[in-house]
């Protein structure tokens, strides 16, 4: 699933292409909203909130979430799409560009005044202008018995982290992903590092937590089960965390560097 940095870049690219433009075509290919036609309305802006994208058009917001397979593409007029048309869930056209949302995990249209009803539950947005580290720390600390990696992934605590960042943060702070939040020393430092790490990656195509963007060198532990730790050489271990089968998350850690 794309993480907050990817969603931030997607929203920024959509904003650069569409903001200030009038829609010359609007095709929402989701049954519930198939009759919605915002042709003739002006796109005011496109913003991200955690892993959500809000495209504000006239009095409405087109809300999308990429989930596992989704993506937005931007094309010049008459350019051939890079994915098949049957995967398109939204086609928005202006005089200069066509934005196509493929395989979007969620797509809906709501009135702008109702935006908070769909994203208001989110914790502080790591890449938002109103980032509030103290509030994020407070929310994380509300459930001291919860596994720290799972708590970091809970978008109600802080919005934007996915599995890659959660696992890498735990490694960089020397904390086992299964350690209860209440036993994590300097929770404020975890939150501060989360903000620095995702901010450093928001404008990069190739995400890195090691500082090395070369293929195979970009992460410390994520998806590296059985491979040697880059610091100590111990084999990286993996497992699953969470309260039930529907919420299980993949975890990776070095049993020597993390306690």
E strand segments, 29-183: 43-49, 52-57, 60-65, 71-75, 88-93, 98-102, 106-111
Catalytic annotation present for 32: no
Q: Do residues 228 and 235 touch, judged by C-beta distance below 8 A?
A: yes
Q: Which of 2, 124, 147, 168 is catalytic?
A: 2
Neighbours of 132 (CB within 10 A): 15
User: What is the residue whose two structure tokens read 């914790």?
Assistant: 123
Shortest CA distance to 110 belongs to which of 52, 50, 40?
52
Contact between 13 and 74 under an 8 Å Cβ cutoff? The reply is: yes
Beta bridge partners of residue 107, listed in sequence order = 64
Choosing from 3, 115, 137, 147, the catalytic residue is 3
Handedness of CA 21, 26, 30, 32 (dihedral sign): positive
Judge contact between 232 and 256, C-beta under 8 A.
yes
Which of 31, 32, 41, 51 is labelled catalytic?
Answer: 51
* 2 noted as active-site residue: yes
DSSP 128-173: STT--HHHHHHHHHT-TTSBHHHHHH-TTTSBS--HHHHHHHHHHT
Q: How many residues does the chain have?
A: 259
Element (H, E) at 27: strand 25-28
Q: Is 3 a catalytic residue?
A: yes
Q: Which residues are catalytic?
A: 2-3, 51
């Amino acid at each position: 699933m794309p993480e907050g940095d990817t969603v931030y870049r997607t929203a920024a690219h959509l904003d650069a292409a569409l903001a200030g433009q009038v829609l010359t075509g609007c095709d929402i290919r989701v049954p519930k909203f198939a009759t919605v036609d915002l042709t003739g309305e002006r796109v005011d802006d496109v913003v991200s909130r955690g892993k959500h994208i809000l495209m504000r058009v006239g009095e409405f917001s087109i809300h999308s979430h990429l989930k596992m397979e989704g993506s937005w593409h931007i094309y010049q007029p008459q350019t051939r799409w890079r994915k098949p048309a049957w995967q398109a869930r939204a086609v928005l056209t202006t005089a200069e560009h066509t934005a196509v949302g493929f395989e979007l995990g969620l797509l809906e249209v709501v009135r702008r005044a109702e935006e908070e009803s769909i994203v208001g539950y989110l914790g502080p947005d790591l890449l938002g202008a109103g980032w509030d580290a103290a509030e994020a720390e407070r929310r994380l600390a509300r459930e001291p018995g919860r596994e720290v990696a799972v708590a970091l992934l809970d978008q109600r605590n802080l919005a934007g982290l996915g599995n890659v960042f959660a696992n890498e943060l735990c490694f960089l702070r020397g904390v086992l992903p299964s350690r209860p939040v209440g036993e994590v020393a300097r929770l404020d430092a975890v939150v501060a590092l989360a903000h620095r790490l995702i901010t450093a990656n928001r404008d990069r195509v190739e995400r890195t937590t090691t500082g090395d963007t070369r293929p195979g060198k970009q992460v410390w532990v994520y998806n590296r089960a059985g491979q040697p730790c880059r610091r100590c050489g111990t084999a990286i271990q993996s497992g699953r965390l969470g309260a039930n089968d529907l919420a299980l998350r993949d975890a990776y850690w070095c049993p020597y560097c993390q306690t």
